[in-house]
Amino acid sequence: MCSVHQLVKLSVFALALAGTAAAQSDYKVISVSNPGTITGTVKWSGPLPRIASFTINKDPEVCDPESHKVRDLERLMVSPQGGVANTVVFLKDISQGKAMDLPAPRRFLDQKHCRYEPHILLVAKDDGLKMKSSDAVLHTVHMDGAASYNLPFPFVSQVVSRTMPSAGLVNLRCNGGHAWMNAEILVVSHPYYAVTDADGKFELSDVPPGQYEVVAWHEGWGVARQEAAFDVLTERKIQRPIFTDPKTWEKSVTVEGNRTAVVNFSLSDK
């Protein structure tokens, strides 16, 4: 069951896509003549906020082999040069274009050292998400939002797949007592989505010439509070972090045939 905060979070993402819903549902694949490209960088501006971390209090031999004792919750990843990783950049109100070509690594979830890899996933609506666990401990992948599953992973490296039936945001967490584990899936209905790399860079390719709104979406980096939960394996009471709302920024861009347009975003804690 979703908490009130989780429902608000999902609603924020729904609002970010409100103007694109009709276009996404009617998206048409065409042969794109003289396509253009949009590139850019998402960078951090100003002082960094306090970065949330969480005590590793279960299965340290697997989850914490280097004995760090705590785990960064990975909600804000900023490079030394200020690039912001894991920001989703997409085109708003695009109704036709290239065929779906989301990157394969973003459609395959691994559970490794009690982390979700990658932290941000992109899956096409009605397509399958493949999942496995590289850890020799029992994890459960609990999803809520646009998809709802609760999947145990008792065997190392066994791959399972589930279909993502609706476009929107899916929150991931582990109900096996590893309360710091978190990730997000964006289930999308067109291919013009990208996730920034470690340097904050992104590229949207094969874009039909025209004028667009480019949206930068970030999951948010704060912990609003901690919520009581249960380790389903031991029935032990634990505390789970509940995160602050996602954030979005928008910019207009004109794409010309066989040209590259540059769109840069600046994020801050304000």
- Token code pair at residue 16: 């970010």
Kindly report, residue by residue over 204-225, the tens digit of the pLDDT: 999 999 999 999 999 999 999 9
Per-residue b or e along 231-269, where b marks 16 or more CB atoms closer than 10 Å to that residue's CB:
bbeeeeebebbbbbbbbbeeeebebeeeeebebebebee
23-37, 50-64, 113-127, 171-185: which has the minimum mean pLDDT?
23-37
Sheet holding 247-255, edge to edge: 193-195, 88-92, 210-218, 247-255
What does each C-alpha distance from 222 to 36, 52, 72, 74 come to in angstroms? 36, 7, 12, 11
Measured on CA atoms in the order 92, 78, 184, 133, is the torsion positive or negative?
A: positive
Residue-level pLDDT at 231: 83
Q: Which of 7, 9, 58, 65 is nearest to 180 (CA)?
A: 58
Question: Residue 70: which residues within 8 A CB-CB, separation 6 or more?
Answer: 53, 54, 55, 56
Q: How far apart are CA 63 and CA 61, in angstroms?
A: 6
pLDDT at residue 3 above 90? no
- Burial tier of 158 (Cβ tally within 10 Å: 0-12, 13-18, 19+): exposed
Residue-level pLDDT at 221: 94
Q: How far apart are CA 99 and CA 130, in angstroms?
A: 21
> In CATH, what is the architecture of 4-267?
Sandwich (2.60)
Residue-level pLDDT at 230: 79
Residue-level pLDDT at 173: 95
Kindly report, residue by residue over 162-192, the tens digit of the pLDDT: 999 999 999 999 999 999 999 999 999 999 9
Position 247 confidence tier, pLDDT thresholds 50, 70, 90:
very high
What are the structural domain ranges in the chain?
4-267
Region 243-260 average pLDDT = 97
Q: Which of 121, 125, 100 is nearest to 110 (CA)?
A: 121
Position 51 confidence tier, pLDDT thresholds 50, 70, 90:
confident
Q: How far apart are CA 176 and CA 151, in angstroms?
A: 10
DSSP H/E element including 263 = none
Kindly report, residue by residue over 133-148, the tens digit of the pLDDT: 999 999 999 999 999 9
Q: Which position has the token pair 């999947």?
A: 151
pLDDT at residue 12 above 50? no
pLDDT at residue 9 above 70? no
Residue-level pLDDT at 8: 41
Kindly report, residue by residue over 109-133, the tens digit of the pLDDT: 999 999 999 999 999 999 999 999 9
Residue-level pLDDT at 25: 62
